[in-house]
Each structure stands twice: as structure tokens, then as C-alpha cells.
Amino acid sequence: MDTAQLLFKLILVVIIFAISLVIALYSTYAERKVAAFFQDRLGPNRAGPFGLLQPFADGIKMFLKEEIIPTNASAFLFVAGPSLAILTACIGSAVIPWGQKLTFGSTVIDLQVADINVGILYIFGVVSLGVYGIMIGGWASNNKYSLLGAIRAASQNISYEISMGLAIIALLLVTGTLSLRGIAEQQHGFWANGYFTWNVFKQPLGFLLFIICAFAETNRTPFDLPECETELVGGYHTEYSSMKLGFYLFSEYINMFVSSAVMATLYFGGYNFPFMDMISSPNWVTIIGVFLFFIKIALFIFFFMWVRWTIPRFRYDQLMDLGWKTLIPLAIANIVITGIVITFLNR
């Protein structure tokens, strides 16, 4: 890889990092506006026009608050917890293909940071690491409520990871590749050979399982038991203040953004869109594709919020019942059915 290529990659990393942070920033604003709409209120409207500067005001507030490390907390791990949470949230975006290649004369820019051939497993690994930030922070706080929140987060993540992995296996039976770029390319256009190309039409049950597990892995309502404020004060971040609390809240929104991007790539065609072959210029196809990819991501983020303000939180035994007795059998059945259908179609 020559220097120019390396420089493009570096610029791409910075751009993606900035985009994830800005989207996470405005997700907090959108969340409050959506909540206000659902509850027939106005929402934030004081800072700037339509309250658009509200996220920055919140950020400044977070930075100016007093930094508190409890006396009995283990200081290093107390700081490491939120840092790890935001780190694992950010590294997931490295393998997502944001668009097709851009060509300017002889230089070709690949809109993906790293096209590793085990991309989907990488995403899965990052998701499974995500729980450490919460667990370490919750344990280091030396507080009963924090510890309970951390333990809930761990058991919830492990339970839902299994069905998520099984849902991915069924998807892999259809695609036959582990590379996210390969999966995105297979969903070219919208309609080919008498059927939809997008994987959501080939794996509807798998998509349903995946989105439920994505809700559980990002700790969003109805699965936000780790920070359930009616039972646990603030859950794992009870003892946190200032920007360390901000990191935890922020990492949730970045997680939401990354998992929306993964779902859009795996099941909703990624950067592909209907009638994309009718546009002759490949660069325009790429630009429109990237734009539509972000529209898809935004719709998924809206869906996350929609569910949050519609469905109440699960009780703990309901959560475990859903994970172990409903989702796992469904996921295994999905694998078996997919295998049988593929065998008959290939005959």
C-alpha cells in the first residue's frame, strides 16, 4: 500500500470518526424531540433555532461538572470503564462499507477502511467486547446498584449474543461470504433473477432476530435493565459524573449508529438502491448510494427511538425467557429451514 493510499485511508478514518460523533451528538437531540413528539410536548427549543444547539450546551455542561471519583472506588478501573465503553463503540465502524469506489482519473478511493475477509465476525467480536466497559465501570464503582447493573448487562449480553450469532449463521448460508463488502455487493440493485436482492427478503426471520438482539446489545429500551432507574437508581453509571457519565451515554448512541449501519449493510442492501444501473456515471451512483445508506441508518435510528418511547421495559425473567426460550429455538429453526430451502433451490 503506497503513501497516497494510506493518506486516503487516514482521511477516511477521520471523516468516519467525525461523522459517528456528530450523528451520536444529534441522536441525543433527535431522541428528545422524538420523545417530545410521542408525549405531545415541544422538546428542547431554547438553545439556538429549534433547540439545535442543545447537544453542544449539554456537552459543555458535562465538561464543566465536577469530576468525582468515589473514595472506595478503584480509581484506575473507574476511569478505564467509560473509556473502554467509548473505544469499543467506535472501533466497530472500521469494516463497514460506506459506499462503492470513487474514481478520479487514475486514483481509486475505496470507501471502506478495512476490507478484511472476516468482517462480520469482527463486528461480532467488537459487540461481545462492548460489555467490558459497563462491567468494569460497574464493578469499580464499589456500589451495590452499579454492581447489579453490571451483572445484568453481562448476563443480558451473553444471552442475546447466542441468538445474534445463530441469526448471522443463517445469513451466511445465504451469502456464502464473511466479508461485509462481499455481502453488500451481492445485494446490488433491488430486483434480480425474479426475486429481491436485499437480504431482508431472503431472511425475514433472521432480520427480526438480529434487530431484537441489536436492541439488547445496545441496552436500549425495552432491554435497558442495566440502567433501569426505577429499580437501580442509575444502574452501572450511578456513581459517575461529568464527562465520564457523558462517555457512557455517548457510547450508547454510537453503538446505536454502528448497529444501524450493520443492519443496513447486512439486510437492507447497504449502499445499493433500486434502479442504480440506470445511472451511467459510476461516481454519481457511489455518491447517491452513500447518501441513501445514511438515510437507511437514520431510519433505523428513528426506529430505535420509536420503540423506546412505545414499549415498556421487560421484567428480568421475561428478558431471560425471551432470549433463551424464544429467540434461540427460533434461530435454530431458521438455520434448518434456510439450509433445506437452499439445498432444494440449488438442485
Give residues in contact with other proteins (CB under 8 A): 77, 116-118, 121-122, 124-125, 127-129, 131-132, 135-136, 139, 147, 150-151, 154-155, 157-158, 161-162, 178, 324-325, 328, 332
Q: Which set of grid coordinates corresponds to residue 121?
A: 465476525
Category of 20 on φ-ψ map: left (φ > 0), alpha (ψ -120 to 50) or beta = alpha
Identity of the residue, 116 or 298, whose beta carbon is nearer to other proteins in the bound complex: 116
We find the least distance from the C-beta atom of residue 175 to other proteins, in angstroms, to be 13
Nearest 5°: phi and psi at 190? Answer: -135, -30
The burial of 279, by beta-carbon neighbours within 10 Å (0-12 exposed, 13-18 middle, 19 or more buried), is given as: middle
DSSP structure class, residue 40: T
Tell me how far apart the alpha carbons of residues 138 and 238 are, in angstroms, rounded to a whole number.
8
Q: How far apart are CB 142 and other proteins at their closest, in Å?
A: 11
Kindly give, in sequence order, each residue whose CB lies less than 8 Å from that of residue 289, ignoring residues fewer than 6 positions away.
99, 100, 270, 271, 272, 273, 276
> In this structure, what are the phi and psi dihedrals at residue 268, rounded to the nearest 5 degrees?
-110, 30
Q: Which is nearer to other proteins, 201 or 324 (CB)?
A: 324
Residue type for position 132: Y
Q: How far is the CB of 260 from other proteins (least distance, A)?
A: 21
Please give the Cα distance from 336 to 318 (Å, whole number): 26
Smallest distance, other proteins to C-beta of residue 297, A? 25
Residue type, 264: A
Residue closer to other proteins by CB (options 132, 300) is 132
What is the number of other CB atoms lying within 10 angstroms of the CB of residue 216? 25
The distance of closest approach from Cβ of residue 263 to other proteins in the complex, given in angstroms and rounded to an integer, is 19
| In the complex, least distance from residue 118 CB atom to other proteins, rounded to whole angstroms | 5
Indicate the residue among 135 and 319 with the shorter CB distance to other proteins: 135
Please report how close the Cβ of residue 125 comes to other proteins at its closest, in angstroms. Answer: 4
Least distance in angstroms from the C-beta of 126 to other proteins: 9
Q: Rounded to an integer, what distance in angstroms lies between the CA atom of residue 25 and that of residue 55?
A: 6
CA 338 to chain centre: 25
Nearer to other proteins, 113 or 299 (CB): 113
Nearest-approach distance from CB 326 to other proteins, in angstroms: 11
Cβ closest to other proteins, residue 54 vs residue 175: 175
Contact (CB, 8 A) for 142 and 188: no
User: How many Å apart are CA 2 and CA 60, to the nearest integer?
Assistant: 41
> 24, 208, 210: which is closest to 120 by C-alpha?
210
Q: What is the DSSP letter of 73?
A: S
Nearest to 326, CA basis, from 176, 163, 214: 163
Q: Which is nearer to other proteins, 54 or 186 (CB)?
A: 186
Nearest residue (CB) to other proteins, 179 versus 187:
179
25 vs 131, beta carbon nearer other proteins: 131
